[in-house]
Amino acid sequence: MRRAIVLCCLIVSTIVLSLIGLAVAPFGNREETLHRMARLWGKMNLAVAGIEVRIRGLQRLSSPPYVFMCNHQSALDIHALLAELPLSFKWIAKRQLFSIPIFGWAIKKAGYISIDRENAREALKAIERAAMRIREGMNIIIFPEGTRSADGNLLPFKKGGFTLAFRAAVPVVPIGIYGSSALQPKGSFVPLKKGVIYIEVGEPIVLEGMEKSQKTRVMDDVRLRIEELMAKGESSRAKGTP
């Protein structure tokens, strides 16, 4: 019964808040209005599912814009980041999502970045447009694995997000999420149980002045830092740290 209620809330909140966001978007700051709706959507669905999010390291975020690089354990990662990261930000999303009625219209109006993974030329154009917007002040979140991990361990990183980060030349912030895969594993439509998600925000990595030839080194550095942040989250759960 609980899972049915959670699924119903997810479907209804997605449709209703997307419609409300589209209706009020023409008034004021459209993208910020839609981000607030998305934040409400994340908080609402976590609350109904009985999931708490504990985040640490926010004091490190003092000079945006940033490119956030985060591991991806579960669909819950999106809810958790929307609910608890106190900066307005955009996602990079695959092109097919923008074709979904109502939801796709809303994320397009919200300024999310559409990437056509099957068309390399169009993907590069999208990266260049995104880099320009980041330089103008937009924060963006990237899952460098490209998909959710089935077992919670880090998958190999894809280079596209790092190409974007170097073109934007703004700091990269590693984020480690721990606990979400145990609550809603890959392939599950709703959380299977209640629990806590831990988010650890790392120190920004300054890219300004770096050569593109250093991209591989930065990828390795970000991967190592995310692994360390995930380990901190695991330690927090073991200790029951708030």
CATH, residue 57: 3.40.1130.10
Enter the pTM of the model: 0.90
Which whole number is the average pLDDT over 172-197?
A: 92
Q: How many domains does the chain have?
A: 1
Q: How confident is the model at residue 117 (pLDDT cuts 50, 70, 90)?
A: low
Q: How confident is the model at residue 28 (pLDDT cuts 50, 70, 90)?
A: low
Across 143-157, 200-214, 215-229, which has the greatest mean pLDDT?
215-229
Per residue in 159-170, pLDDT (tens digit) is 888 988 999 999
Token pair 């629990």 is found at: 195
Structural domain including 156 reads 2-239
Q: Is the pLDDT of residue 91 over 90?
A: no
Per residue in 32-84, pLDDT (tens digit) is 888 888 999 999 999 999 999 999 999 999 889 999 999 999 999 999 999 99
CA distance 141 to 175: 10
Confidence at residue 241, expressed as pLDDT on a 0 to 100 scale? 58
Confidence at residue 120, expressed as pLDDT on a 0 to 100 scale? 67
Confidence at residue 209, expressed as pLDDT on a 0 to 100 scale? 79
Residue 115's identity, in one-letter code, is: I
Which whole number is the average pLDDT over 225-242?
A: 82
Q: Is the pLDDT of residue 198 over 90?
A: yes
Q: What is the DSSP string of 5-71?
A: HHHHHHHHHHHHHHHHHHHHTTSS-HHHHHHHHHHHHHHHHHHHHTEEEEEE-GGG--S---EEEE-
Nearest to 175 by CA among 161, 193, 191: 161
The residue ranking higher by pLDDT, 172 or 1, is 172
Which whole number is the average pLDDT over 168-173?
A: 93
Handedness of CA 169, 173, 174, 179 (dihedral sign): negative
User: C-alpha 115: how far from its chain's center?
Assistant: 15
The residue ranking higher by pLDDT, 192 or 209, is 192
**Arithmetic mean of pLDDT over the chain:** 87
CA distance 163 to 212: 8
